[in-house]
Amino acid sequence: MKKFFEENVLLHSATAEKFYAHIKDLPIVDYHSHLPDGEIAADKKFATLTELWLGKDHYKWRAMRLCGIPEKYITGDASDEEKFSAFAAAMPKLCGNPLYYWAHFELKMLFGIEEPLNEKTAPKIYRAANEKLKSLSVRTLLRRFNVEYIATTDDPVSSLEHHGRYGDLKLCPTFRPDRALKLDGTYLAQLAEACGREISSLSDWKEALEERLRYFVSKGCTIADISVEEIPESDVSEAEAEAIFACGGERTAEQSRRFFSYGMQFLGGLFGKYRIVWQLHIGAYRNINSAAFVSLGADAGYDVMHGAIDTDQLAAFLNKLYTSGNLPKMILYTLNANAVPALCTVASCFPDVRIGAAWWFNDTLKGIRDHLETLAEYSVLGTSLGMLTDSRSFSSYCRFDFFRRILCDFVAEKTDAGEYDAESAEELLHDICYRNPKTFMDL
């Protein structure tokens, strides 16, 4: 029996260990995160491990709820130590869950703690980690993980005052205009204030978004991101969009859906004009527990995957952008892994459209392996853009190490079976983990 979380955990051959040694220390390029830029600028310190681990991590909240832990110990008014103890008590139940891997990687990589976390070890681990946190800060953590680039997720009205260089770290914004597509009156007022102009027509709306995108570009932005529950349609004219905009707050649900589709067409052209890479996240069905949404708000662990993804409609939408000369570089993600093969075939029909990493519920041990296999068989593994955090937690960079171990083991299996050229493997791994994202996103 192997030692608990030994150095070569998840690496099942000497070849995998060799490959991992080649790429494990590569800098991290995190091109999609939800990290708070203000905390990076302030070089925030954390008082407790609970604050670092549990304060914003809906992955952990969801697991704790699945284990029957009362909300008091998740997002409620329990003390930090009580919340940590509750999470620790759940850990032995999480065999095979990515949280079990991530938590123990974090304990080892950040605090030098190599024993299993459970109800018995919780007090000792909590004290030891809190003591080490006294000498750690946000930027110390980022240096520890060798993070070179972070793209945060930012609304068009954001001030972006904290973006820039922090030593070897480059912090850049991502243009996330989801709220602008809903034509909410309160938000339009915020957008108008950010631009210093009135927004009373479709033309005003378009000019405001372009003005804000130019500002983002001046702050180092090369990436945009939009999350959609439904695939946009490809047949909405500007005249129809103008008529819908003029309805003000009297729009029907159908009109709102049609305007969203027009807005997506417009933004595609805008992103192409400014050489922006468009990340499109598809299939998150959000806030399905309405009572929890009222109580806790969004991003609290009550989002799920849609049961089906309309890849036919996506193909039509991409074709509309391409034939009109408005298709930018794109990265497609789906929360429903069943759609990945179809997405691969759709992406292959258009230039500079890639499939993103195994997203959200799929960044598990099996989910990542299945994703790699699908990319290899239906797309081209060597053009993959590697991993990202998609996280609000500064300790989550262990997910890159998790991914790199799985990737090395996957490629080693092909190599040891005589199915792949050993001399090509190290270049392939280096490309996936570092060169590809830097090149594709012009970083």
Tokens of 334: 């789906």
DSSP 181-197: GGT-HHHHHHHHHHHTS
How many angstroms separate the CA atoms of 371 and 330, rounded? Answer: 18
Residues 19, 412: contact at Cβ < 8 Å? yes
The CATH number of the structural domain formed by 46-136 is 1.10.2020.10
Q: For the chain, give every residue range classified as CATH 3.20.20.140.
A: 14-45+137-440
- CA-closest candidate to residue 407, choices 439, 443, 436, 440: 436
- pLDDT tens per residue across all 443 residues of the chain: 889 999 999 999 999 999 999 999 999 999 999 999 999 999 999 999 999 999 989 999 999 999 999 999 999 999 999 999 999 999 999 999 999 999 999 999 999 999 999 999 999 999 999 999 999 999 999 999 999 999 999 999 999 999 999 999 999 999 999 999 999 999 999 999 999 989 999 999 999 999 999 999 999 999 999 999 999 999 999 999 999 999 987 899 999 999 999 999 999 999 999 999 999 999 999 999 999 999 999 999 999 999 999 999 999 999 999 999 999 999 999 999 999 999 999 999 999 999 999 999 999 999 999 999 999 999 999 999 999 999 989 999 999 999 999 999 999 999 999 999 999 999 999 999 999 999 999 98
Residues 53, 395: contact at Cβ < 8 Å? yes
Q: What is the pLDDT of residue 250?
A: 83
Burial of 193 (0-12, 13-18, 19+ CB in 10 A): exposed
Q: For the chain, give every residue range classified as CATH 1.10.2020.10.
A: 46-136
Helix, strand, or coil (residue 72): helix
Which residues on adjacent β-strands are paired with residue 228?
282
The CATH number of the structural domain formed by 14-45+137-440 is 3.20.20.140
End-to-end CA distance of the chain: 44
DSSP 253-274: HHHHHHHHHHHHHHHHHHHHHT
Q: What is the pLDDT of residue 218?
A: 98
